[in-house]
A = this chain, B = another copy of it.
Amino acid sequence: MPGNKMPTIYDIAKEAGVSYSTVSRTLSGFEFVKESTREKVLAASQKLGYVPNQQARSLAGGPSNLIGVLVPTLSNEYITQIIHGIDDELTKSNYNLILYTTNRHQGKEATYAAAIMNGAADALLLVAPLITDPYLDVLREQNFPYVLIDQADQSDQSTAVNTTNRKGAYEATHHLIRLGHRRIGFIAGLPQLNSAIERFSGYKAALADYDLPFCEEYVALGKFTSGNGYAAAQQLLDMPTPPTAIFAANDLSAFGVLEAIREHRLRIPEDISLVGFDDIPQAAMVYPKLTTIRQPLHQMGHEGVKLILEMLADPAMELRRITLDTQLIVRDSCAPPRA
């Protein structure tokens, strides 16, 4: 609102002795501008310290050079890391990032999506969105470029970046089985998220493959937060015959489990083993260091950006789906069960 007198293309047109449309042309696309003219314009804009007004540019039909990033929350380092990856990759382009956090008011995702399509950004990156909302359809109908990160839509109609959630969970469980555990608890994630569903499925598959019974009682809802993970673990630990190992669907809930185990005066990994999922930075810092399934968080951000940039360059780009590999990271939180 203040910003007294920034130079406009008119100013630099006058300075360079050309018309404003010539200025516009040299500055944005470079169609048919004589080299000498271009230089004059560039010099003038340099001299006056010209900075294009994005609002005007985008209003007039140009790009806003903004990519919207929609995240559920900022309180989870898993999200933060992905954003970090996005930001890294975006910095290489000349797009900027506009961040929307949806956790508080729900239903806000749809509003945001509307605002974004209304020119606020050129494209949208959705990080772990709740897919139940119908705004995806709107985006798709309008042919607005977007990519899903860590959440595929059931209908398979969106370009998305995912990881091998099921396989990862399978490996985590298998790791525990291999160590000799037979009573393996599972702290489930938010059932609205595909990743949570797949991890659960991986857990069950491993159990089945090794002829271990699946017990409903060994499953508790952690909702991907450490608070709920703590509560869920309490529930498991208070059973008459508690599990000898726990696989938490994400690191954050694993930290809650850690806390609960400690309160029960049990030692890790001697008394009980624990595996997480995500490998957020803290996982390597807690004591004992957490064995977990690594998701390439940064890379997920990178790939998402690359995809969106491609879509922007080629609006007719066909649907794409990238699945990144997860990896078992063995650290100090697992051991064979007590004899």
Q: Could you say which of A17-25, A50-58, A172-180 contacts chain B?
A: A50-58
A6 at the interface (CB under 8 A from B): yes
Interface 1/0 per residue, A44-77 and B, CB below 8 Å = 0000010111111011010110100000001101
Please state if B77 and A77 are interface contacts (CB–CB under 8 Å): yes
Binds B, one of A149-157, A280-288, A323-331: A280-288
Query: In the complex, what's the smallest C-beta–C-beta distance from A17 to chain B, in angstroms?
Result: 24
User: Do the beta carbons of B119 and A54 come within 8 Å of each other?
Assistant: yes
A100 lies within 8 A of chain B by Cβ = yes
Specify which chain B residues have a CB less than 8 angstroms from the CB of A120 in the assembled complex.
Answer: 54-55
B96 lies within 8 A of A144 (CB): no
In the complex the two chains form, is A118's CB within 8 Å of B63's CB? no
The reply on A241 being an interface residue by CB < 8 A is no
Contacting residue for A91 out of B104, B119, B122, B315, CB 8 A: B104
Residues of B within 8 A of A59 (CB): 53, 55-56, 59
Residues in B whose Cβ lies below 8 Å from that of A4: 142
A37 at interface, CB cutoff 8 A: no
> In the complex, what residue of chain B is closest to A69 when comparing beta carbons?
B99
Q: How many angstroms between the C-alpha atoms of A1 and B63 in the bound complex?
A: 7
Contacts of A315 in B (CB 8 A): 1-2
Which among B3, B142, B282, B285 is the interface contact of A119 at CB below 8 angstroms?
B3
Query: Which of A80-88, A163-171, A194-202, A270-278 sits within the interface?
Result: A80-88
Docked-complex contact B84 and A74, CB < 8 angstroms:
yes
A173 to B6, CA, bound (A): 49
B115 touches A87 (CB 8 A): no
CB neighbours of A83 from chain B (8 A)? 74
CA distance A162 to B118 in the complex (A): 38
Distance of A111 Cα from B84 Cα, bound (Å) = 21
Q: Which A residues form the contact surface with B (CB < 8 A)?
A: 1-4, 6, 49, 51-56, 58-59, 61, 63-64, 66, 74-75, 77, 80, 83-84, 87-88, 91, 96-101, 104-105, 111, 114-115, 117-120, 122, 142-145, 255, 281-282, 285-288, 315
